[in-house]
Chains A and B, each alone.
Chain A
Amino acid sequence: MKDNYLTHSRGFLSWALTLDHKRIGLMYLVAVLSSFLVAGIMALMIRAEHLAPGADLVDADTYNRLMTLHGAIMVFLFIIPSIPGALGNFVLPIMLGAKDVAFPKLNLCSFYLWIVGALLAVGSIAAGGVDGGWTFYTPYSLQDGRIGVIGMTMGVFILGFSSIFTGLNFVVTIHRLRPPGMTWFRMPLFLWGIYATAILQILATPVIGITMLLLIAERVMGIGIFDPALGGDPVLFQHFFWFYSHPAVYIMILPGLAIISELIATFSHKHIFGYSFIAFSSVAIAVFSFLVWGHHMFTSGMSPLAAMIFSALTYSVSIPTAVKIFNWLATMYKGSISFQTPMLYALAFIFLFTIGGLTGIFLGSLSTDVHLHDTYFVVAHFHYVMMGGTVIAMLGGLHYWWPKMTGRMYSEFWGRIGCLLVFVGFNLTFFSQFLLGSLGMPRRYHTYAAEFQSIHVASSIGSFTLAAGLFITLFYLVHSLFRGAIAPANPWGGATLEWHCTSPPPHDNFSVAPTVGDPYDYSDLSYDPATGGWVSKAGAKA
Chain B
Amino acid sequence: MSDDHGHGHGDPNLAHHWDTMDQQVHAGKFGMWLFLSTEVLLFAGLFCAYCVYRGLHPEVFAEASKVLNWKLGALNTVILLASSFTMAMGVRAAQLGNKSQTSLMLVLTLCGAGGFMVVKAIEYNEKFEHGTVWIGHKNSITGDYNYSPQDKFKDVEYAYPAEAAEAAPDESEHGDPKLAALLDTTVTPIEPKLGGGIVQPGVAPSGLASDDGKRVTTAPKLQNMHIFFGIYFVMTGTHGLHVIIGAIAIIWVLIRNIRGDFTPKYNLPVDLVGLYWHLVDLIWIFLFPLLYLINLDPWN
Contacts and interface: CB of A to CB of B under 8 A. Distances in A.
B135 A230 contact: yes
Contact of A206 (B5, B45, B208, B210): B45
A172 B137 contact: no
B17 A219 contact: no
B15 interface: yes
B49 A225 contact: yes
Given A102-B27, A224-B230, A233 B138 contact: no
A233 B201 CA distance: 7
Contact of A13 (B2, B15, B135, B136): B2
A157 to B, nearest CB: 10
B175 interface: no
A229 B194 contact: yes
B113 interface: no
Contacts of B234: 213-214, 217, 223, 225
A222 B136 contact: yes
A10 B2 CA distance: 8
Contacts of A498: none
A316 to B, nearest CB: 23
Contacts of A213: 234, 238
B72 to A, nearest CB: 22
Interface stretch (A58-66, A235-243, A383-391, A468-476): A235-243
Contact of B2 (A9, A100, A230, A232): A9
B200 A206 contact: no
A331 interface: no
A224 B201 CA distance: 11
B143 interface: yes
Contacts of B204: 231
A168 B3 contact: no
A171 interface: yes
B1 A222 contact: no
Contacts of B88: none
Nearest to A103: B31
A14 interface: yes
B238 A206 contact: no
A113 B15 CA distance: 23
Contacts of B26: 176
Contacts of B233: 221, 223
Given A19-B5, A231-B201, A206 B41 contact: yes
Interface in A183-213: 202-207, 209-211, 213
B192 interface: no
Interface string B11-40: 000011110000100110011001101110
Interface string A237-264: 0011000000000000000000000000
Interface string B200-238: 110010011111010000000001101100110110001
A202 B42 CA distance: 11
A55 B140 CA distance: 29
Interface string B68-82: 000000000000000
A404 B181 CA distance: 75
Given A147-B141, A235-B208, A210 B135 contact: no
B227 A231 contact: yes
A223 B234 CA distance: 8
Scoring A8, A202, A206, A234 by chain B CB atoms within 10 A of each residue's CB, the highest score goes to: A206
B209 A233 contact: yes
A83 to B, nearest CB: 20
B35 A168 contact: yes
A364 to B, nearest CB: 21
B275 interface: no
Interface string B169-200: 00000000000000000000000001000111
A8 B3 CA distance: 8
Interface in A506-529: 507-508
Nearest to A509: B17
A197 to B, nearest CB: 14
Given A206-B39, A214-B234, A219-B137, A301 B211 contact: yes
A3 B134 CA distance: 62
Interface in A372-402: none
B44 interface: yes
Given A11-B2, A104-B15, A225-B231, A301 B208 contact: yes
Contacts of A218: 137
B57 to A, nearest CB: 9
Interface string A317-336: 00000000000000000000
A219 to B, nearest CB: 7
A222 B30 CA distance: 38
B53 interface: yes
A222 B146 contact: yes
B52 A223 contact: no
A107 to B, nearest CB: 11
B140 A230 contact: no
A169 B46 CA distance: 26
Given A231-B224, A235-B209, A210 B46 contact: yes
Contacts of A507: 3
B43 interface: yes
Contact of B134 (A11, A103, A223): A223
Scoring B34, B136, B223, B233 by chain A CB atoms within 10 A of each residue's CB, the highest score goes to: B34
Scoring A175, A177, A223 by chain B CB atoms within 10 A of each residue's CB, the highest score goes to: A223
A371 interface: no
A210 B43 contact: yes
A303 interface: yes
B195 to A, nearest CB: 11
Contacts of B140: 144-147, 150, 219-220
B42 A225 contact: no
A202 B34 contact: yes
B230 A223 contact: yes
A210 B42 contact: yes
Contact of B45 (A145, A168, A211, A224): A211
Given A176-B26, A222-B138, A171 B42 contact: no
Contacts of A14: 2-3
Contacts of A11: 2
A234 B134 CA distance: 17
A232 B137 contact: no
A234 B15 CA distance: 48
A301 B230 contact: no
Contacts of B1: 13, 17, 19
B30 A230 contact: no
A438 interface: no
A223 B135 contact: yes
Given A206-B42, A223-B233, 10 more contacts: A14-B3, A20-B3, A104-B5, A147-B141, A150-B140, A177-B17, A205-B38, A223-B230, A224-B134, A230-B137
24 contacts: A13-B1, A13-B2, A17-B1, A100-B5, A102-B27, A103-B31, A104-B17, A106-B31, A168-B31, A175-B27, A176-B30, A210-B238, A213-B238, A221-B134, A225-B49, A225-B231, A228-B201, A230-B135, A230-B137, A231-B199, A231-B204, A231-B224, A231-B227, A301-B210
Top 10 closest A-B pairs, CB basis?
A222-B137, A223-B230, A210-B45, A301-B209, A206-B41, A9-B2, A99-B17, A100-B17, A176-B27, A14-B2
